[in-house]
Amino acid sequence: MTQQVVKVAKKGKSAFSTDPNDFVFHSAYNTFKIIEEGTKEITLAASTDDQTFTEAHTLEPFTIPIVTAFAKRDAASQVFAPNGIDVELWSAKGGMSGDVTFNYVQADKDNIIFNFDNADGSTVAVTIRYFILG
């Protein structure tokens, strides 16, 4: 039996192509859906590492979701992705020495979990934007 699919080709590409990269949408391949998204405002304690914050999700029975997140210090204009790299996250200059670090984003079946270090001697307000994909 011929497999029937729904395909939308990219501009300039043939819908009869067999290369999935030639398609904007192809029903033989899953599309990442944004199942949930939101923002979370947190305040990092001064001079404290390993600060964890959680945000409940309600994806049961979808178990542990795929999550990603970005964070922005409220007083700054730059946004960062998570991963525990000791870089100068919030400075306007491009050097790399530690201040605030967005260590990781994780998920379990109940919560999205965010972790930060703050080497600054003051509290730091941060806004997180998170996405659950599926």
Partner 1 sequence: MGQYQQRISSNDDNYYYWPGGSLHWFQAIELGNSDWGGLAGFFRWRNVDVPQGSTITSAYITLSRWYDSTLTIKNRIYGIDEDNTADYTSDATGRALTSASVDWNPNSSWTENVEKTSGDIKSVIQEIINRGGWSSGNSLGIRINDNGGTAGDNGPFVSKGTAGTYYPQLTINYTGGSSPSSSISPSSSPSASKSLSISLSPSVSDSPSPSPMASFHGLRIAKSGRNVLLTDNPSDMIFDSDYGTLKYFDKQTLAVQFDANNDVTGKNTYTHDLGYYPFVEVFTRVYIGSPSGNWEYCPFAGAGAAILYKANYKLTTTDITVYGEIDGISTSVWNFEFLIFMYKNDLKLS
Which residues make up the interface to partner 1 (CB under 8 A)? 1-6, 24-25, 27-41, 43, 55-56, 58, 61-62, 70, 72, 74-75, 77-83, 85-87, 89, 94-96, 125, 127, 129, 131, 133-134
The least distance separating partner 1 from the CB of residue 89, rounded to whole angstroms, comes to 8
The least distance separating partner 1 from the CB of residue 35, rounded to whole angstroms, comes to 5
Residue 41 · residue 127 · CB < 8 Å: yes
Among 48, 78, 69, 76, residue whose Cα is nearest residue 111: 69
What are the beta bridge partners of residue 106? 113
The least distance separating partner 1 from the CB of residue 88, rounded to whole angstroms, comes to 9
Nearer to partner 1, 37 or 47 (CB): 37
How crowded is the C-beta side of 110, counted as CA atoms within 13 Å? Answer: 1
Nearer to partner 1, 2 or 50 (CB): 2
The least distance separating partner 1 from the CB of residue 52, rounded to whole angstroms, comes to 15
Sign of CA dihedral 90, 50, 46, 72: positive
CA distance 18 to 77: 43
